[in-house]
Structures are given as C-alpha cells and as structure tokens.
A and B are shown apart, each in its own frame.
Chain A
Amino acid sequence: MTRKLLYVIGFAAVLALPQVLPEELNWLIMLLDRALMIAIVAIGLNILTGNAGQISLGHAAFMGFGAFVCYGLTDIIGVPFWFSVPIAGFVAAILGWGLGFPALRLSGHYLAIATLGFGYAIPQILNLFEGWTGGWTGVKPSVPTLFGISFSSDRAYFYLILVTLVVLVWIARNIQRSAVGRAFIALRDSEVAAQAMGISLAKYKTMAFAISAFYAGVAGGLWAHWLNYISPGNFGFGISIELFTIIVLGGLGTVSGAIVGALFLGLLPKLTEIISLSLQRSGAFADSFFMQNVFKNSNQVLTGVILILVVLYLPMGLVDLWRKARVWWETRRQAAGRQAVPRGVK
C-alpha cells in the first residue's frame, strides 16, 4: 500500500518536473531527455546482453539506422511521425534479426569484435545513400506536432520520451517474465543444456538481437526528431560503448538497471563539471598553476574514479545499492531489537 503510494508520488514528481524546473535548469531537461532516450536503447541491450548473454559493441548502429528510417519515412515520404517511430523500430528489428545469424557462430570476444565491426560498417553504408542520409553533412529531421502541439522544446519532448519509455518498460518486463525471457536466461547460462532441453539457439539468439534492435530503432527515431540534426557519423563507437557501460554500471539483466545506469552516466559528467568549476572558483591554491590545472581537469578524472568505484564496490550494478541498503537497514533494526529486550527485562 505505502509502496504503491510511493510509486504514484514518484511518478507525479517526474511528470511535474518539466513544469517546475526554472529556466536556468534547461540544460538539466536536455540531459534528462537524452538520458531517457539512451535508457530505452539500454533496456533493449540489457535484454540481449544481460538476459540472453550476447554481447554487442555496435548497438549505436541500430539507433542510427532507426533514426534515418524514421526521418526518411516522416520527412521524405510523409508518413506521420507517430507512425514512423514504431516502424523505425520494426525495420531496425529486421536488421537485428539478420545480424543474429552470423552471431550464431560466434560468442564471447569474437562476437564482441563482430558487433564492433557491424557498428563501424553501418554508418559507412548509410553514408553512401546521400539522397536519404545526407552523407557526412547529415540531414535535419522536422519537429513533430500532435493535436496542434509542437514538440519543439526539450520540456515538451520529455513527455513524448516518457510515454514511449513507460510502454517499452512494460513490454520488457513482460518479455522477461515470459517463457521467452526464461529461454534467454537458459541460453545465457548454458547453451549446451538449453539446446538439450529443445530450446532452439537460432530462434532465440536472433530473437534477442531483433528485440534489442527494436528498442534502439524506436529510440533512434525519437532522437532524430529531438535533435533535429543527424549524420551517420553521430552513431559510432562512442555511443555503443556508453550503452555497454550503462548496463554493466546499472545492473545487468534488469530494466531498472538500464534506466538507473543511463541516468547516472548521463548526469555524472555534469555533476563532476560542477564540482570542478566550484573548485576552480573556490580560490584554493589560487597561486598554484599546477593545482589550478588539476582542478580544471578534475571532472574527467572524477568521472573515471567514480565509475571505477562503482564497478569495484557494486559489481552487480547500481541497482544493487537498493538491496544492500535494505539488508543494512534490516540488520540494524534487528541489532537494536536485541538490545532492547534485556533492558526491558530489567
């Protein structure tokens, strides 16, 4: 009961966020929009990597592909944006399904290299279709409108992303709880045994790739018409590694891990930047050229150090913090209870 209430309050707070944040914090809305779109991709990747055990270091390519499909449908062909976004997801899913087949013969490090190559090749290929993708100069996807409301601001777009996220979270949860979700875990834990149980590796591996590519494609579609500028070069190795970092950092195999990881990694650089700036302005070591330089570069170092600390102390991901906190709280309460009894006896 109280838990449900907490969820409702939490969700209401999220809904109110774009309304109550002052102008000066526009950058925060922008970062949140970006982080939540990345979270959508990460949820899909977490099904592929966390649940089904298949690594992908080229997932930004699916996002980019989805972005250009959505742009092409909306701004070249004239399909309504609301329709283009899911189609972009499905078209990306077909590409993901296709990539699943070579992946059948590969695993571990080799799959990592193959997906890396895929992530490298797709932008190059997109680049060749200049009429569609604009080549390296890119294209400018339109601002979507619905019921006369234009989603030109980051605040308005926030709701669009949120609705998509909620729907896709619901779908991901259902997949994970279904027989398909258990089959994914089975093939992650033991391909030999999964196969012996009659689970078709070909079917489920390609399915996992397709599902994760669907998520990336949808997010790519949203991304295109949010940023209003896309170029094949934007969807490279950097984002792919960011996605991989997010699921490991947040927690492999869980929806919440993908979201928490995306928000954490999305906001962390800004946080360390603020710390770095305040160090520089604090006046400490003002006469030391060396220390000023240290302060100036401290944000990257801090980001790195924090990432290392997280994987060191929370190997199960940030979501494990929640469990650890509960265990700590329980043991404290029990300890307090034990002390209370003898006192009461006296």
Chain B
Amino acid sequence: MLKLTNVSASYGRIEALHDISLEVPEGKIVALLGANGAGKTTTLRVIAGILHPTRGSVTFDGRDISRMETEEIVPLGIAMSPEGRQIFTGLTVAENLRMGSYTRKDKAGVERDLEWVLSLFPRLKERLNQVGATLSGGEQQMLAIARALMARPRLLLLDEPSLGLAPMIVRDIFTIIRKVNSEGTAVLLVEQNANLALRTADYAYILETGKLAMHGPAAELRRNPEVKRIYLGG
C-alpha cells in the first residue's frame, strides 16, 4: 500500500534520511525503530508530505505522493498522530476531533466516525466539552490518536504513542491500536519502546543515523541477538 523507494531527505544542508526503502502492506502493523535522532520522525514527515524528499519516491496505492502537500495526502487516506501529542490546547475535545476531519466533506461519514472513535476511547466521550489543556497526559495521547482517526485513514502514522505514559495507559492505548488495525487500518508505528513495538507489529525496520540498518518480521527481529543487545536491553 505504502512504499518508500531510495528516499533521502534533508533539513537545509543536513541530510536526515539517506536512501531509505520501506513498505507498509495493506492491513498490517509495521514498526519503525531506532535511537534518538535516527530519523524516525523525519520518515513520518516525508510520508505525510510535511517534508519533501530530496531523492527517491513515496507511493501510496501505486501513486507517487512525494511532491504532494499534506492537505492533498490526508484525503487519500494517510493520517498522522505527531510526536509529543500536539493536541490543540485551546480547543475542546470535540473541536480537536473535528479538526481531524478537517479535509473531509462527507458530513454523515464524519458523524459516524465520531461515534466510532468515541466508542474506541470512552474516556474522551466523558470529556467532549473539556478544553485540551486540562486533559491528562494519557487522555491527550488518546485524543491525538482519536483525532488522526477522524480522518478515516487507511494508513495511520503514530509517532511514539507511549511517550511519557504509565504502563497501564500504554497497555490500554496499544490494545486500541491493535483493535483499530484489526478493523482494517494499516499502522506505521514509531516507538522508543522496542520491546512493545516488536510484540505489536508484524514487520519492523530499524534506522541508524538516517540509514536503514535492519529489517524483518517482528518476531524474527525480537530473537535477533544484535537487536536484543542494542534495543531490547539484554
């Protein structure tokens, strides 16, 4: 469904991604791992059209999207929950969710999806009229994912959904990610928590300073001694 071929990307003169190729098949969860500054967020930005690649191509359903703007890419079915949650603190939960469906024109569909995401995140349903600023960290993360789901994506980009959250909340959130996936949404998951990511994903890529270091089925990588030593802590 999504395919990156020999993608490079830079911030000004600094190259952050070098010759990356990866694939997210329909309906799968793919993890993207790597140390701080490896280029995980940059990869998601390139896919979402926030940053354009300097070389290589990004295709979605066989269509080249590497030169498209985000507002054109979101309607194709790619939505992102950015790193650090980035919810709109001055808007209510309901308004935040509406912003997620910003590019959509089908009102009835939006109403249906609002019901759907609220059934996934009942805690948000109780707080629809609360402003974003007053949500707890866990609730904010749920809102960030729910907001992305309001675009009704076929591919969901998640940037570190477990960041700074208690294990209980992380478990809840990952249960919901699996559920969304089982209903047919493909997920590209960026995570610092490699253990959790490899348990959740079908396939994984590992980045090292902007380059692809390793990739394979998640179960295989979990047993790989090098991965164990560097990313799984033992």
Q: Does B91 lie within 8 Å of A198, measured CB to CB?
A: no
Instruction: List the one stretch of A10-18, A76-84, A183-191, A297-305 in contact with chain B.
Output: A183-191
Q: Which residues of B contact A199 (CB under 8 A)?
A: 71, 99, 102
Q: How many A-B residue pairs have CB under 8 A?
A: 68
Is A182 an interface residue, CB under 8 A from the partner? yes
Complex: A195 Cα to B83 Cα, angstroms: 13
Is B70 an interface residue, CB under 8 A from the partner? yes
Within 8 A of B (CB), among A171-202: 179, 182-183, 185-186, 188-190, 192-200
Q: Which residues of B contact A182 (CB under 8 A)?
A: 91, 95, 98-99
Interface string of A41-78 (1 = CB under 8 A from B): 00000000000000000000000000000000000000
Interface string of B4-46 (1 = CB under 8 A from A): 0000000000000000000000000000000000000000000
Q: Does A197 lie within 8 Å of B89, measured CB to CB?
A: no
The verdict on A189 contacting B89 (CB below 8 Å), with A199-B102, A200-B69 known, is yes
Q: Does B102 lie within 8 Å of A189, measured CB to CB?
A: no
Complex: A185 Cα to B131 Cα, angstroms: 12
Q: Which residue of B lies closest to A253 (CB)?
A: B90
Interface string of A129-168 (1 = CB under 8 A from B): 0000000000000000000000000000000000000000
Q: Which residue of A lies closest to B132 (CB)?
A: A189
Interface string of B76-98 (1 = CB under 8 A from A): 00011110001111110001001
Query: Closest CB-CB distance, B41 to chain A, in whole Å?
Result: 10
Is B1 an interface residue, CB under 8 A from the partner? no
Q: Does A192 lie within 8 Å of B86, measured CB to CB?
A: yes
Q: Which residue of B lies closest to A193 (CB)?
A: B86
Q: Which residue of B lies closest to A199 (CB)?
A: B102
Name 20 A/B residue pairs within 8 A (Cβ), A-sorted.
Answer: A182-B98, A185-B88, A186-B88, A189-B87, A189-B88, A189-B90, A189-B132, A192-B50, A192-B86, A193-B86, A193-B87, A194-B88, A194-B99, A195-B50, A195-B70, A196-B82, A197-B147, A198-B74, A198-B151, A253-B90
Where the two chains meet, the residues of A that have a C-beta atom closer than 8 Å to any C-beta of B are 179, 182-183, 185-186, 188-190, 192-200, 253
Where the two chains meet, the residues of B that have a C-beta atom closer than 8 Å to any C-beta of A are 48, 50, 69-71, 73-75, 79-82, 86-91, 95, 98-100, 102-103, 132, 144, 147-148, 151
